[in-house]
Amino acid sequence: MKKLFLGLMMIFAFTCTYAQVAGTWKVASQPGSLGVGPTQGDISWWSIDAAGIIQRACFFDDKFVFNEDGSFQNVMDDWTWLEGWQGISPDQCGVPVFPHNGANAATWVYDEGAATIQLIGVGAHLGIPKVVNGSELTNPSQAPESITYLVTAISATSMTIDISIGAGWWRFIFEKEAASGEDATLSDLKVDGTTIDGFSPGITNYTYGLPEGTVEVPQITSATPTDPEVTSVVITQATEIPGDATVEVTSANGAVTLTYTVSFIISYDITLPVTFEDNIDYALTDFGGTVSEIIVDPTDPSNKVAKTIKTEAAETWAGTTIGGTVGFANAVPFAPGATVMTVRVWSPDANILVRLKVEDANDETHTVETQTNTTVAGDWEVITFDFANEAPGTEPIHFDWYFNKASIFFNFGITGAIAGEKTYYWDDVEFGGGGVEPKPYLANNVQDNFENDGYSTIPVWKFQDPDLVDITITEDPVNPGNHVLDYMRSGTFEWTNAQFILNHRMNLTERNVFEVKAYFPSSNDYTGDLAATLSLKLQNSLLGGEAWTTQTEVILTVDDFDTWVTLEYDFSAASNRDDYDQMVVQFGGEGHFAPGQFYFDDIKLLGDPNSIFETLTSHLIIYPNPASEAINISQFNELTQLEMFNSNGERVMQLNEIPQQIRVSDLPAGLYLILATDNNGGQFTTKFILQ
């Protein structure tokens, strides 16, 4: 399995045309205009900062020219940034190295449907030359014949390009160089005498936060055009708060008009706990395909909550940030021994993974992430996030870092296309202080017979193929009166499995052998990848998608088909583990797409002398259930006594010689309990319904 990393990407909706791409572009001289990270749009591994822009001035004047005749040019003016893979040490400005010097002829092709730009010609590139599809070059001679880039966003003045290198993604943000007489950009924009934070000529929309209590409306005091020959610069001031001020710039030839908008709002301090009750802007910011809003609690009209829809188009890492880019007014007060936050959550499904991330709003490299699972479906619960247990593949908590921004991710690791559109509600985001109370460490029974008769101690089963859904219970292929787990491999998923998570950690020091029954149809094709095997895996569920890294696995092979076989799984090698609360059941092997049909029944942890189910339950079958005339007793010849009780606890029948079929038609309709003893003195109970 692949490790899961968190990526943050803004989704842009745009229509890009050939004419928009045509022209001369430069990488924008702004922090974050080029960078790399684990997923598309995430540049957390490395990104350019202000100092880097100064150091690499010879790169930021490079031009990328898309000519209207379809030809393409890299124009570097004999001076660009060189790196070690080009034979230079240390990295420095220097003469461009062939073939990445623009010497070879090249063309460009824009695919509007796919939103891609393809450069054709050895050495032609956008951004930095080492970045190609699926890899990074280690020698100039490796330059490919063509490179295809994703156009993630484009406007009249700005373009964002993404490209996958296989193990990560690069992002480049470009600014367009206007043709003579067509420049309608501003080189500076001041409010009340000060340049707007984050101003760039290619950015036309700004949000300007004001302290609570501000009454006087700020004024745009200057708007400086890049081309002093522009036709006009028209400033329209805002008249109220909230309100917008605009600057409309028309190019010298009158062909291009750009409008810069400054939105003035009151910036209220957002502090923990976040309850959504205050009438302020919580600046919920969605990414990756979520849609969020603050609404009246559907279950309590007196309460307000956040509603988040993870759409069918959502990415694995889709989520929602509280407080936009600013975050909280104060840092989350993490300290050794105080690492917990809680969120009240309503989820349509139990056992879905929820991730919480906190970070420094001013330094995106300072983050810590953790995750946990929901335990109920269709109801509110408080779920706890302990940041002392960081999510796999993420940075551990640093107590000397400043964390003042939080993002939540529902059903993390699963796309909307797989899960379907789901709606979640959440409220009461709080700092809780001390660490999470661990699950109790118990030697409890772990058992299920799939009869819904009170025997099971397993809260919820799930089946993954590829979606994680409730298991299917079906009739026993041998005895229709019995119910079993239906395990159907579709052949579309490599890691098909059934699984459950317990409410306790299993104490395996004394009891560590599981007994199960399995049915392998001979109709399956076992000549290829599909194996005649059943694997049980014990895991630590707290690691979510990385639980498999903790597992102890036992695999058994069978050679008896079309019949039930009883198998024992010895986990004594894991008797010293105190973190296992999850089991994964896997028929037919893994890592392949071969389909197959299997059945599973009567799982139990052996060795508990106090269990009244221990001796016979995995062998006893009562059918039909519900019954109307009679019930049939499987293994009746092993029983020495049978007692039957009604729902009031009154004994209505006692037998010392047990027939295979017991008539019950003279009893009143209702629920009945059977208590039986076998010839070894073992006892068991089971229930049935009389109609």
The proportion of the chain whose per-residue pLDDT surpasses 70, expressed as a percent, equals 92
The proportion of the chain whose per-residue pLDDT surpasses 90, expressed as a percent, equals 52
Strands (E), 311-410: 319-322, 340-347, 353-360, 363-373, 379-386, 405-410
- pLDDT, residue 611, reads 40
- pLDDT tens string 282-327: 888 888 889 999 999 999 988 999 999 999 888 888 999 998 777 8
Burial annotation 646-663 (CB, 10 A radius, 16+ → b, else e): beeeeeeeebeebeeebe
| Residues 290, 13 contacting (CB under 8 angstroms) | no
What is the enclosing helix (H) or strand (E) of 686? Answer: strand 683-690
| Residues 567, 516 contacting (CB under 8 angstroms) | yes
Instruction: With cut-offs at 50, 70 and 90, classify the pLDDT of residue 640.
Output: confident
Q: Which range among 205-214, 351-360, 475-484 shows the weakest confidence by mean pLDDT?
A: 205-214
Rounded to whole angstroms, what are the CA distances from 691 to 480, 664, 688? Answer: 19, 10, 10
Q: Which range among 145-149, 298-302, 498-502 shows the weakest confidence by mean pLDDT?
A: 298-302
Contacts of 155 (CB under 8 A, 6+ apart): 14, 20, 202, 204
What is the enclosing helix (H) or strand (E) of 19? Answer: helix 18-21
Burial annotation 518-551 (CB, 10 A radius, 16+ → b, else e): bbbeeebebeebbbbbbbbbbbbbbbbbbbeebb
Cα 322 from Cα 319, distance rounded (Å):
10
What integer is the mean pLDDT of 375-381? 91
- pLDDT, residue 434, reads 58
- pLDDT, residue 330, reads 81
pTM: 0.40
Amino acid symbol at 406: A
Q: CA 92, 95, 101 angle in degrees (round to 5)?
A: 115
**């290829």: which residue's tokens?**
528
1, pLDDT greater than 60: no
594, pLDDT greater than 50: yes
- pLDDT tens string 661-680: 888 888 988 888 888 877 77
**């699963």: which residue's tokens?**
414
- pLDDT, residue 262, reads 93
Q: CA 369, 375, 377 angle in degrees (round to 5)?
A: 115
In the chain, what are the domains? 18-177 (2.40.128.280), 186-266 (2.60.40), 285-433 (2.60.120.260), 442-605 (2.60.120.260), 622-690 (2.60.40)
What integer is the mean pLDDT of 168-193? 89
Q: Specify which residues 200 forms β-bridges with.
A: none
- pLDDT tens string 18-67: 678 998 999 998 888 999 988 888 887 888 887 888 889 999 999 999 99
Strands (E), 137-219: 146-154, 158-164, 169-177, 186-191, 194-195, 205-210
| Residues 571, 583 contacting (CB under 8 angstroms) | no
Neighbours of 560 (CB within 10 A): 12
Measured between alpha carbons, how far apart are the two ends of the chain, in Å? 49
- pLDDT, residue 432, reads 80
